[in-house]
Amino acid sequence: MPSVLWFRRDLRRHDNPALLAALDAARADGDDTVVPLFVLDPRLWEPAGAARRAWLSRSLHALDASLGGALVVRHGDPATVVPEVAAAAGAATVHVAADFGPYGAARDRTVAEALEAAGRRLVRTGSPYAVAPGRVLKSDGTAYRVYTPFHRAWEAHGWRAPAEDPGRWPSWRRDRSGPLASEGVPAARAEVDLPPVGEAAALERWDAFRRDGLASYGGLRDRPDVAGTSGLSAHLRWGEIHPRTLLADLDDSPSHTVFRKELAWREFYADVLHREPASARTWLDPRFAAMEHDGGPDADERFAAWCQGRTGFPFVDAGMRQLLAEGWMHNRVRMVTASFLVKDLHLPWRRGARWFLTHLRDGDLASNQHGWQWVAGSGTDAAPYFRVFNPVTQGLRFDPGGEYVRRYVAELRALPGAAAHEPWKHPLLAAGYPAPVVDHAAERAEALRRYGTLPAR
């Protein structure tokens, strides 16, 4: 009897425990046929921006090629589609990596019920994380709300070695017509500038970063003007590579340790979201419900300037334009642009988070919403509200030669070196570039005043 392998955020063949489980199940029934399925769910596809769609489309093409063209792509609600495909395949089990996000977990419960009603089973093996959300606990059995102790306990908990490839891959099945025919990978317009996509590209990227970037990661990871980070976030987002594969290659040297700590942030935020699913929409710290935000046409205009990279603050604008051009932004610049929206424009973090999630190719609910809440002060950070990033000094510090700004803000290309961060001092060389939409010093004071009105912890 064949089994079904339903791919979601694990678009790879190697180090894939769900694939091994699907193969084992088929073999236990004297078969080695696995139907590889991807369901294009309109609830996830419709809100995705150009970068996410283009990435997914290319990643599915790559996966399909690695499965010899056997990937069955079906469009529709998984609660209907998955049981239909399982029935058509004559499969007793459908195999997945567990999804811990609020939508994915609820969807999987519905699919499992629909399968059970027809005498079939949804089997969850592994997850997109080195340690599944919910596993790292304090000694009293409760969850961590602060990163540093979580990280310590996560390291102590440890993780499995990467899963080994099967001696022989399954016989992948897809029919040319009928209920196991593929509806095809969705086309996506290539409006964004993407690097190579797919499992092979992810493994190559990791090899190149290990060779050329990892040793200097600790010193360069905050510099958006140089390629100092791994660029793996979208590969991880889509499961083209598993974090376990990365962790297995790390040792205890300082740069490797810093990199492991960054992977732990991803695991921490997934853990927090799993325990508090409502934190995707509302403040983790409920005191922030009383926060005063700006609204109305002026606020809308400032929001539009932020989205389009026309705030008049070069470091912020470079980041927002990078997001639109590439569907990616450097972490330091994500923090500065997010802080600007919340603390200089006084807009609710959810507005910015939605824009990011739509446009990021690595858009991930847990890392994004909690990255935003961290900046806004309503999340997992212990002493946050007085941290108001100065967009000019941040730029001068982390892009000292102005190269990052000149790369993305064409109007500032005539400004030499660090002058790119202060165009108002050189108006003739910055023609066409907008004046700052706000006075940072005044808005910083206003942000602190508003934070001061919140109830004490």
Residues of the shown chain interacting with ligand FAD in the complex, contacts defined by CB under 6 A: 221, 229-233, 236-237, 262-263, 265-266, 269, 330-331, 334-335, 338, 356, 360, 362-364, 367-368, 371-372, 375
Nearer to ligand FAD, 11 or 232 (CB): 232
Nearer to ligand FAD, 16 or 322 (CB): 322
Q: What is the rounded CA–CA span in Å between residue 3 and residue 96?
A: 11
Nearer to ligand FAD, 170 or 327 (CB): 327
Smallest gap, in angstroms, from Cβ of residue 228 to ligand FAD?
8
Tokens of 441: 């010093």
Smallest gap, in angstroms, from Cβ of residue 217 to ligand FAD?
7
Smallest gap, in angstroms, from Cβ of residue 52 to ligand FAD?
10
Pairing of strands 171-172, 72-75: unpaired
Q: What is the rounded CA–CA span in Å between residue 391 and residue 17?
A: 44
Phi, psi of 39 (to 5 degrees): -105, 120
Nearer to ligand FAD, 170 or 391 (CB): 391
Smallest gap, in angstroms, from Cβ of residue 279 to ligand FAD?
14
Smallest gap, in angstroms, from Cβ of residue 433 to ligand FAD?
25
Smallest gap, in angstroms, from Cβ of residue 15 to ligand FAD?
16
Q: What is the rounded CA–CA span in Å between residue 222 and residue 225?
A: 9
Smallest gap, in angstroms, from Cβ of residue 404 to ligand FAD?
14
Q: Which residue is nearest to ligand FAD (CB)?
A: 371
Asked if residues 106 and 113 have their Cβ atoms less than 8 Å apart, the reply is no
Say how many C-beta atoms besides its own lie within 10 A of residue 146's C-beta: 11
Helix, strand or coil for residue 66? helix
Continuous segment of H or E residues that includes residue 40 = strand 33-40
Say how many C-beta atoms besides its own lie within 10 A of residue 169's C-beta: 15
Asked if residues 113 and 78 have their Cβ atoms less than 8 Å apart, the reply is no
Nearer to ligand FAD, 174 or 237 (CB): 237
Nearer to ligand FAD, 146 or 442 (CB): 146
Phi, psi of 208 (to 5 degrees): -65, -40
Q: What is the rounded CA–CA span in Å between residue 229 and residue 223?
A: 9
Q: What is the rounded CA–CA span in Å between residue 115 and residue 234?
A: 31
Nearer to ligand FAD, 349 or 433 (CB): 349
Pairing of strands 3-7, 33-40: parallel
Helix, strand or coil for residue 335? helix
Nearer to ligand FAD, 389 or 433 (CB): 389
Residue type, 47: P
Phi, psi of 427 (to 5 degrees): -60, -30
Smallest gap, in angstroms, from Cβ of residue 291 to ligand FAD?
17
Nearer to ligand FAD, 236 or 305 (CB): 236
Smallest gap, in angstroms, from Cβ of residue 321 to ligand FAD?
16
Continuous segment of H or E residues that includes residue 219 = helix 217-220
Handedness of CA 187, 188, 194, 200 (dihedral sign): negative
